[in-house]
Structure formats: structure tokens, C-alpha cells
Structure 1
Amino acid sequence: MRHLKKTELRGSTALTLKDGGSDDDPNDIVSKAIGDLTETVNKRLDDIEKKTDTTKLEERLDKIEAKANRAKGDGDDDPDEKAETEKKAFANYLRLGNQTPADEIKALTVSNDPQAGYLAPAEMSTEFVRNLVEFSPIRSIASVRGITGPSVKYPKRNSVTNAQWEGEAEDSEESEPTFGQLEVFPYKLTTFTDISNELLSDSGGTAEAEVRLALAEDFGKKEGTAFVNGTGSGQPEGLMTHPDIAETVNGSTTALSPDKMIDLMYALPAMYRNAGTWLMNGTTLAAVRKLKDGDGRFLWQPAFTAGQPETILGRPVVEAIDMPDISSGAFPILYGDFSAYRIVDRLAMSILSDPYTQARKGVTRMHATRRVGGRVLQAARFRKLKMSTS
């Protein structure tokens, strides 16, 4: 913005003024008017200069110009601009090969290559590659309860009364039913894992989510194994380790007998049999699907309605990876009413993040804990198939 200088205006007016004019001289009147006008203009110019500080405006312009001309350091590059430069340089390299300008080849160099090649700009996928974790789905068919104490006790009737037919005037016999208790303890399943703080911050929460998922899958697998084969000492009691569950002998060491499976099913009381479910692993299920009755009909029936389970002899079948394979002396099949297997949850899986104890190493420790128990409440509701021994 260009400002009119007061000295210039005064100089221009001074040329028209005459000294020594009288009050009645028209020239004196004109000179006086011009002098008043000059004074008014100068005053307004002074006001404008006060409002517009040219010095400050010039300083701001100088700063902007200096910043634009300043050389950029290593950390001043715009990430988006740099990525765009890499893409353009890579496209030129694909078209021109070794004729690519040297400045663009520098943009392509990500790491040294023994063949003097150049790598494409790296890209990180958000998809994780995970191995399948299989576990026995006993929870889906068992009876599950939550508890708030260190254990839970279930009253049990060991025997019934002893009523007898008696004649007139004869004394009745006394009955002495006995009772007991079954106690189910929740056992602790625990582990911990360390994650570097850099990984936690750089992954944007993905690493922690993956660790939590891995812990949940691991705990689910360990639970399923214990519900099937647990010893009952320091871990839940498994279905296959209960000593009072009766058995039906197959009659062969390697080949399943359709007749023996029918015998096994009908060896249970009708009330338990009609609420029963077959339990076996995938290898045994494949063998069962090939079995036929005396009329050539398959024992296995597919589900004709979506969401309905497959059935064997009209009863649903559940595949459990922890069940044993068909072999001499093994128990590959269990049938029964699984509401008689009780699972108690004292504490759902709890994950505690501890960033303090390993802080000197730059590591966050994640502790996972689960308290759960399981036990067969009524062995009479189950029956297993035993392969013969050679």
C-alpha cells in the first residue's frame, strides 16, 4: 500500500501561495482555502498511518518469505507429499528402468538389495493370519452355573426308602434312606504374557486385542480338554475319567459295531436315553457315518432343517476333538444326558494389564486368570463304548 507523503502535498500547495497578499485579495482567499484543505488531508493521513502499522506488516511478510525459503530438515517432510513422490518415482521406474532420473531413484531406495534392485513402497495389511484353535464344546450341552463362593455343594440321595407288602395287622418295616453331598470346586487357570510398550502404542490397539483373543482361545481349549479328560485334582473332573460311568464292550478292536451302539443307547433308562446326546471326535464320526443296519440303512441321519444337529439313531451328535480315537481298549464314544455334568464358574476370564513391574524393560505384562470347575453329578445318566482289547 502506497501512502501519500505530507511533504509532497505541502510542496505542491506552496507553489500556488503568494506572500504578502491582502485580506481582500482573491488569491489570499484561495490560498487560505487550500491551506485549510491541506491541513485536513494531512490530519487524515496521520490517522490512517496510526491505524496501519506498515512496520509490523513488513515484518510479517519478511517472516513468511524467510520460512518459505528455508531448507527443509530430515523431519520436515510432509508424509503425504513423500508418499506421493515415492509412487510417482516408482511408476517412472517401471516405465524407464535404468534410465530413470537419479533423484527419483533415490526416492525408490527402501533398502539395499544384492541385485541392485529397488523395492516398492511397503504396505502393512490389517488382516491377521491366525491358526485355527479347536476345542470341545462341552459348555454347549452341559449344565452351567455361576457361583460366588469357594465351592458349591449339592445334596445327594444315595438310596430310597424300602416299602414292603404286608398283610393285615402286620408290622411295617423301617426304611433308612441315606443322603450325602457332592461338592464342586472351581480351579484356577492362569498365565501371563509380556508386550513391549512400543508395540502397544504403534499398533493402535490391534496388538492388545490380538493378545486378548489368543488368551480367550487358549483358555477355551484348556477348559474343553479338562471337561473331557480332567483328573479332578487341581483341575475339573472329566467325563471320561469318572470311575462310575458304565460301559458297553464293542466286541472288536478297530471296527465299530452298529448293534453294540444300539445296545449302548438302550442300556440307559428311557428318561435319560430320550434326552441323550452322542459325543465323539471327527475321526470316529467319519467311521459311524459309514455304518449301516441289517437292512442297509445308514445309522447316521443328516439334518434336513437349517440349524438342526445331525443325528445317530435319532439323537443329536456333538463333535469333541478331545475324545479318543478308535483303538484297542479305547473309549471313543460317550452317550448320555449331559445336564448331569455340572460346570461352575467362579470367575470369568479376567485380564489385568500391569505396566509398572516391567517398566524398566519397556514392557507391559498382561495377567489372565480364570476359575472354573466341573464334575459328573449322576454317572447313571451316561454310558460309554469300549473297544475290545486284542
Structure 2
Amino acid sequence: MRHLTKTQLLGSTHIERKEGGDVDPSDIVTKALADFTKTVEDRLKDVETKSDTTKLVARLDKLEAKGNRVQGKPEGDAEPTEERKAFAHYLRVGPNAPAEELKTLTVSSDPQGGYLAPAEMSTEFIRNLVELSPIRSVASVRQTASPSVIYPTRTGITNAKWKGETQTQEGSEPGFGQSEVPVKELNTFVDISNQLLADSAGQAEAEVRTALAEDFAQKEGLAFVSGDGVLQPEGFLTHPGIAETSAALSADVLIAMLYAMPATYRNSGAWAMNGTTLGLIRLMKDGDGRFLWQPSFQLGQPETILGRPVVEMIDMPNVGAGATPIIYGDWSGYRIVDRVGLSILVNPYLRATDGITRIHATRRVGGRVLQAAKFRKLKIPA
């Protein structure tokens, strides 16, 4: 065995000599490993001692707590309320949240958390249906630039007579007259705050204009049906020259009423009534068991009664004692005269000191029956 000298020892490791002055190599290796292990352990202890693990753990806890807060809450503010904490937790885990937290969500809600989210002003307006009588779709409509329109009318024809060969002729002349359609005025105004006009980005004014248009259309449609002719246009139901059939509503009465009209007017005429009356007629049958009412079999074509079209007018009265629920006629005999369409004037100055803008609306229109012979109405006896 080779013997090592003292200078060949590892580092400064002290190995006691054995008897005879020589050093055992196994003792050198064992001692060196022991010293190395001690050195590594001492260094690890130094690292643990020098590292501030307490601060690191505290920082991690702080970040975790911040992540559990409701987003957008400043760090310096007070802790979120119980409801906010529960809501934040609910957003993360949904219906799997504990029962006590789900209960918290409904403490101030109606019902079941419906008001936890903030309200939103929708840009969609909910409007009620505005029904009007569509008389313009069937009547004769004209424009005018005057306060009234006068139509020359012929009230009679010549009076020719049969004569013999030497008999003297007799003169005759037709009768003439005039029918005037005066223009009436419908108006109103709406006051609206300047703040509402500014904050709604024009939508408030647009809705006011829509409301005015619907209101004016409804009012003129009613006047064309039953207007008094004084401040309103003359309605076709109030014209004294229209012939009427006085009888209870039945299939036979409708047939007789239709064929009491001159053939020229009958073949170009249309019925007018409201939906309630139309529903009653749909149940009626003639003597052969055929329904008087027939549906439309072609797109865009109206339904018919006794083969003639039906115009549903909401402003016609219901069937009742003394009422006039049905009229038949050639609607070119009713004349509508437009002087001014719906005119809207926005006046921001009149009430400027009150922060109010006034919106004026005006409509000038006239209406009248020009040829009463083209109509016939049904009146229910009182």
C-alpha cells in the first residue's frame, strides 16, 4: 500500500497519524466528506438566515387580498360591503356560492337580485298602437294654395221632349251650382326642456315629431268620418244628402242596400265599417248558405263582402240602436283638400329664460262629400 505524506492531505484537514507515522487514506476521504457536508449545511443556514421570508409571505398575502376585492375599488377606501363581497364571489363561482352568500344577494333586490346591476336607459321607445281610419287610401285627394276650393257642379241636365213633325221645339238648360271645400286648421304645441333635448341626442325631438304626426293623422281620420263641418272637415256620415237604408243588420238588407246603388257606382264602390261590425258580417250567409264575406286570394287585394272590397275604418260606429255602422260608396265622391302638410316650428326663444323649447305643430286640411249620390249608408233603427 502506498503511504501519503502530510503535504498530500486535502486542504487543511487534520488527520491524526496512526502508529508508525503513516496516514490511512480511508480516514482522509471520510474526513473530507464530513467537512464538505458541514460546509454545505452551514451555507444553507446562512442563506435562510439572510433571506427575509417574512416580508415575502406578507407581500403574497397582500396581493391575494387585493385580488379578492371588487375591481375598480381604490386601495385606500373602506372594505367593500357584505353585498359587494357576495356579488363578487357569485360572479366567480355562480350558483355554487354558499347559501348564506346567495341569500345576501337578495337582501335589497326585487326580485332575486334584479336590481344588483345598474339600470340602463334603452334607446328603443315603446309606443302604443295608434289606429286611424285610412280614408286617404280610397278618397280623392287634392292640393291647394288657397283657404278654400270651389268646384263648379252640374245639378241637372237639359229637358228634351219628343215632338211631332211640325211641333215647335221647347228650350231647356242644365242646372249648375258650386260646391266649396273650406280648409280647416288643426294645431297644438309641445313644451320640452332644453336639457332633455341636449341629453337625448335628438331622440326626444324625434319622438315628439312622431307623436304629433300620429295624433294629427288620427284626428283628421275621425273628422273625415264624422266631422261637423264647422271647425272640422265635413264627415261623410254627417252629410245630409246621402241616402240611407233604415233596417236591422242582416244578409238580405246588405244585398238590398248594395243593389239600390246605380250600377256605375256599385261596380266601383267599396264597403266601410269597423272591425266589430266586420266580425258580425263574417258570420252571415245568403239564402243558399254561402258566406257574404270572402277572404282575399291574391296578395295585396282586400277581402270582399258580396264581391266588393271592404275598408276597415276604426272610427265607424258599432252596430247599435240609432247608429250608422256601414256605408257603401264610390269613394271618389269624397274630396280631401290639403292646404298645408304637417308643419312643425321649433321655437327656442319664447321660453328661453325657463330653459324650455316650444314645438308648434299645424295642419290645414279640408274634406267634404262632393257627390252624395255615390254613397249609401245603413242606419239601425232606434
TM above 0.5, yes or no, is yes
* Structure 1: runs of 5+ lacking an equivalent: 1-80
State the partner residue of 1:388.
Answer: 381
The one of 223, 231, 234 aligned to 1:234: 231
Task: Spell out, residue by residue over 1:20-54, the C-alpha distance to the aligned partner (whole angstroms, 9 max, x if none).
Answer: xxxxxxxxxxxxxxxxxxxxxxxxxxxxxxxxxxx
Paired residues for 1:1-390 under 5 Å: 91-92=88-89, 94=91, 95=93, 119-250=116-247, 252=248, 256-389=249-382
> 1:161 & 1:114 partners in 2: Cα distance?
83
> 2:109 & 2:238 partners in 1: Cα distance?
60
TM-score by length of 1: 0.70
* Structure 2: runs of 5+ lacking an equivalent: 1-70, 74-79
> 2:220 & 2:310 partners in 1: Cα distance?
20
CA contact (8 A) 1:335 1:382 kept: yes
Shift of 1:169: 1.7
> 1:375 & 1:297 partners in 2: Cα distance?
37
**Percent of aligned pairs sharing the same letter:** 64
Shift of 1:97: 8.4
> 1:351 & 1:92 partners in 2: Cα distance?
55
> 2:323 & 2:109 partners in 1: Cα distance?
58
Amino acid corresponding to residue 269 of structure 2 in structure 1: G
CA contact (8 A) 1:328 1:387 kept: yes
> 1:169 & 1:341 partners in 2: Cα distance?
47
Amino acid corresponding to residue 355 of structure 1 in structure 2: P
Shift of 1:387: 1.2
Determine helix, strand or coil for the equivalent of 1:228. helix
> 2:131 & 2:287 partners in 1: Cα distance?
36
Shift of 1:176: 2.8
Amino acid corresponding to residue 213 of structure 1 in structure 2: T
Greater CA deviation, 175-184 or 140-149? Answer: 175-184
Shift of 1:98: 11
Amino acid corresponding to residue 363 of structure 2 in structure 1: R
Task: Spell out, residue by residue over 1:213-254, the C-alpha distance to the aligned partner (whole angstroms, 9 max, x if none).
Answer: 00000000000000000000011000100001001122x3xx
> 1:192 & 1:349 partners in 2: Cα distance?
12
Shift of 1:114: 11
Change (3 A) 1:243 1:203: same
Change (3 A) 1:373 1:97: farther
> 1:242 & 1:262 partners in 2: Cα distance?
23
CA contact (8 A) 1:249 1:260 kept: no
Shift of 1:259: 0.8
Task: Spell out, residue by residue over 1:279-318, the C-alpha distance to the aligned partner (whole angstroms, 9 max, x if none).
Answer: 0001100000000001111000000111110000111001
> 2:332 & 2:88 partners in 1: Cα distance?
66
Task: Spell out, residue by residue over 1:93-114, the C-alpha distance to the aligned partner (whole angstroms, 9 max, x if none).
Answer: 54578999xxxx9xx9xxx989
Amino acid corresponding to residue 320 of structure 2 in structure 1: S
Rg comparison, structure with higher value: 2
> 1:163 & 1:358 partners in 2: Cα distance?
70
> 1:157 & 1:225 partners in 2: Cα distance?
30
> 1:233 & 1:124 partners in 2: Cα distance?
45
Shift of 1:155: 0.3
Amino acid corresponding to residue 294 of structure 2 in structure 1: Q
Amino acid corresponding to residue 371 of structure 1 in structure 2: R
Change (3 A) 1:127 1:175: same
> 1:333 & 1:199 partners in 2: Cα distance?
46
Shift of 1:121: 2.4
Amino acid corresponding to residue 355 of structure 2 in structure 1: G
Q: How many residues align?
A: 292
Shift of 1:119: 2.8
> 2:72 & 2:292 partners in 1: Cα distance?
67
Query: Which runs of at least 4 in structure 1 moved beyond 6 Å after TM superposition?
Result: 96-100, 112-115
Change (3 A) 1:114 1:121: closer
Task: Spell out, residue by residue over 1:188-225, the C-alpha distance to the aligned partner (whole angstroms, 9 max, x if none).
Answer: 10000011111111111111111100000000000000
